[in-house]
Structure 1
């Protein structure tokens, strides 16, 4: 098993050879001086504005920073272009909940820094959308619930503070599955009482997956350069896969969870999402905290991490897959069409020099058996602590009563069975719970570590998602997708990269690696992205099989 230390992302990553334009997922993104999109082309709905010479669908952060450095682009121009695009496009998908009143002021401040030659780094002047369970002191943070729709939090989340210090433009907040899909027994991903239903931009009656639904759908529609999602199990990578974008679930503790509405401190993490791997990695380099993570309550594990992720530029070019060993976990339960995408993926990786061997990580049935009961106990503990910092219901019991007395909370997530089960769950001091979480931690880590060691792997690959299902409040989701669970429970990194499509509907390939191997995983993901070149813009079809946007 090959190890790479997570280190600081240096200025040279942006200033050096990556600016030559070889890191974009498509050839169209390679030339910073290429002509911009036809406003009527796929991915740029008729009438949507574009910056001259810049295709918002494919441009990367290094290309944008090169233009800002030369003075041919300002953050204010870029921010206005995204704001206009939201106005033009978001009515189709309902991904953006609210816009920040400070966005243009932040952009103007970035422009002044660029003119003085004092840019703060790769995200200075870059528009970012935040999932609406990430605290912002100047905008409401609701987790999609009317119970939190009043006064904003007193402080920004730590990751928001890091974004602002790096000069990023906070564009606004995105819709999500209410309470990150941890409320009802049959939830509908992308729905919240505050924001309504988010739609998949590829086929509008299909689901965007969740819970980072709005972040992924907004990126697919090019409503922001990057976005922040959060995950307990699958909530970054599934929407990334289903909306055809990139999503990285970092190693647990690499990004601070302070100021993020919780499910479980043992598994929760915020992470970066973008249309390509380089933008994802650059965003991680900013939001990576570097402070010691909270110790694992079951095992006592904890260590200090350096912020960011160091990418080896060689891995972003041809040859980056030569000699790499990747284990393919096929998951045939996701259907023959998805399996065919994985077969084509394996063929392309082998063609680039990688060795691909088929694997089946062990212990999956036991992980599925133990995870949910553990999360119930952890949610009760952690949501009570969070609610104590906010105006509104002060604990889970009060939150349950709020939902019972507010009919708007029952229009799609009709029930709150998970809340009720969590209220009755054993406390996290209970010996039975502690044994359960310890077994989960052990088996999940072994499922990845043993598989990688047995085959001398650089990563494990699996399908991220099935084709998007139709959105149906009465039925709920059809989202039993096991590929995200080993890394999510272990606290190990995972990365979803576009792999292909079933008809109009995107399918991602999920890459997993060992503990704290975020840097190596992102480098490998960039090489996989370059070989697959599977990203494409959505067409906003009303239903599957329709031909007219």
Structure 2
């Protein structure tokens, strides 16, 4: 194995005290490793020693998908070529020509990311025919890095941009994804299947996408890590869009190290992460968001106490301009969606534009089995074009206020990052009611195009709550390092128990 760039990081992490897995665990079956806690550096060390192969690892994950996924319906399909990809990685490991930290590592892709040999549906029957014919740029990077494409995950149909009151985790193609912690609870969206699959240890890492909250909310609600990168660091090419002004794919995993190593591959750089130091001298602004309820606030208080005990200074903040961002974001997204989805549909078989897509849904009963509405589609069709001066003024104000909301807060309090609750406790899934998901913490970074990372912070009963960290533009590597340090102090990750229910929702 070449000891340069990210490979040198693997060696350092494996040899040092930063290993986040459990080397003494008896593991899942005969594999000899605990898939719940093992990290990519540990897996690569085992493969380098010859005590584990990618074929064994891939087969173990495929078996878990076969036996566990029927409970949660997170995985739409597995790749028939997965074992052949793993065998090719094993040959590289034997030759000592490993391509990097993801070589031989099984990865699940959200099903709005184009794959040349697997269907890419965005959860819609309108795209359930032939595969796109070419890979998204990020998939090419994963393949070039030797990753094993394990399959595709379910999502909130059209990334939750169809109905006025959707149910996250539902699509006509995949049905309803369930939260592995409590099966009648929602996984949040739209990267529902990616997060739920990771919580259930059905892959080592997964890819999600976000316009506003669609990586970080599922990560928080399913007790895993999710990173929404700075806008433009991961190519949007070949990803079903909502808005080029906010969309980004990003990595998800059960720990920050795996998330960061995957981000380096998606970004196209050898390393995008420094090993976590300590939190001494770091200044973190805590945005409490009491609207998420007293139980979530108690989790934030406990997290702040742990971070303070580790040497961080935690000060309470309220980023400005949030009400105005809430007024402007949705109308801008409507115009951008019409433009961007028309351009994407023109590259695929099926409906050729948004108007044809609306008509397809009207005449397809299977598209209406959970909720019939497509109000957002209809509003987008009637929205002003992105050439309209009123739209352009709206997007310019959004960009200005969202960046200032973070930049001014960081500067006023001399902060290294802003922290907030990622999510409330998971609500019960209910097609008639829809989601209970007014979660404002993701909006500033999403609209600004700045990075955010959610790490497990604690739980309300059985239901996970995440801590969302955000920082300035292109501060991804620094934010991931801080997230790893926070993860180490909070020690909040735990495996799900697949409980059928826990009673009524903790919040209304």
- TM bucket normalised to smaller: over 0.9
Provide the residue aligned with 2:15 in structure 1.
20
Q: Is contact 1:24–1:276 with CA below 8 Å preserved after alignment? A: no
| Aligned mates of 2:342, 2:118 — CA distance in 1 | 22
Unaligned runs of at least 5 residues, structure 1: 1-7, 38-48, 290-306
Provide the residue aligned with 2:74 in structure 1.
95
Q: 135, 147, 154: which one pairs with 2:126?
A: 147
Q: CA deviation at 1:36?
A: 1.9
Query: 1:85-116 CA distances to partner (integer Å, 9 max, x unpaired)?
Result: 11110011000000001100000000000000
Q: CA deviation at 1:11?
A: 2.5
Q: Secondary structure at the match of 1:173?
A: strand
Alignment of 1:425-444 (within 5 A): 425-444=383-402
Q: CA RMSD in A?
A: 1.2
Q: CA deviation at 1:10?
A: 3.4
| Aligned mates of 2:308, 2:363 — CA distance in 1 | 57
1:451 paired to 2:413: no
Query: 1:311-347 CA distances to partner (integer Å, 9 max, x unpaired)?
Result: 22252xxxx1010000000000000000000000000
1:209 paired to 2:171: no
Q: Is contact 1:284–1:308 with CA below 8 Å preserved after alignment? A: no
Q: Is contact 2:5–2:271 with CA below 8 Å preserved after alignment? A: yes
Q: 151, 161, 170: which one pairs with 1:182?
A: 161
Provide the residue aligned with 1:221 in structure 2.
200
Q: Secondary structure at the match of 1:468?
A: coil
TM-score if structure 1 supplies the norm length?
Answer: 0.90
Q: Secondary structure at the match of 1:365?
A: helix
Provide the residue aligned with 2:26 in structure 1.
36
Q: CA deviation at 1:50?
A: 2.7
Q: Is contact 2:445–2:470 with CA below 8 Å preserved after alignment? A: yes
| Aligned mates of 1:35, 1:114 — CA distance in 2 | 24
| Aligned mates of 2:16, 2:214 — CA distance in 1 | 31
Alignment of 1:135-534 (within 5 A): 135-289=114-268, 307=269, 309-315=271-277, 320-534=278-492
| Aligned mates of 2:195, 2:311 — CA distance in 1 | 31
Q: Secondary structure at the match of 2:29?
A: coil
Provide the residue aligned with 1:301 in structure 2.
none
Alignment of 1:60-139 (within 5 A): 60-139=39-118
| Aligned mates of 2:262, 2:313 — CA distance in 1 | 30
Worse-superposed segment, 49-58 or 441-450: 49-58
| Aligned mates of 1:270, 1:314 — CA distance in 2 | 24
| Aligned mates of 1:362, 1:94 — CA distance in 2 | 39
Q: Is contact 2:6–2:270 with CA below 8 Å preserved after alignment? A: no
Q: Secondary structure at the match of 1:313?
A: coil
| Aligned mates of 2:108, 2:16 — CA distance in 1 | 24
| Aligned mates of 1:400, 1:24 — CA distance in 2 | 50
| Aligned mates of 1:451, 1:498 — CA distance in 2 | 24
Query: 1:146-179 CA distances to partner (integer Å, 9 max, x unpaired)?
Result: 0000000011000000000000000000000000
Q: Note closer, same or farther for the CA distance 1:9–1:263 as it changes in structure 2 (3 Å cut).
A: farther
User: Which consecutive segments of 4 or more residues in structure 1 shift more than 4 A?
Assistant: none
Q: Is contact 1:51–1:81 with CA below 8 Å preserved after alignment? A: no
Q: Secondary structure at the match of 1:253?
A: coil
Q: Secondary structure at the match of 1:327?
A: strand
Query: 1:429-450 CA distances to partner (integer Å, 9 max, x unpaired)?
Result: 0000000000000000000000
Query: 1:158-206 CA distances to partner (integer Å, 9 max, x unpaired)?
Result: 0000000000000000000000000000000000000000000000000
Q: Is contact 1:231–1:269 with CA below 8 Å preserved after alignment? A: yes
Q: Secondary structure at the match of 1:479?
A: coil
Q: CA deviation at 1:51?
A: 3.9
Q: CA deviation at 1:21?
A: 5.8
Q: CA deviation at 1:30?
A: 4.4
Q: CA deviation at 1:528?
A: 0.1
| Aligned mates of 2:383, 2:168 — CA distance in 1 | 24
Unaligned runs of at least 5 residues, structure 2: none
TM-score if structure 2 supplies the norm length?
Answer: 0.97
| Aligned mates of 1:81, 1:65 — CA distance in 2 | 16
Q: Is contact 2:261–2:272 with CA below 8 Å preserved after alignment? A: no
Provide the residue aligned with 1:10 in structure 2.
6
| Aligned mates of 1:450, 1:95 — CA distance in 2 | 39
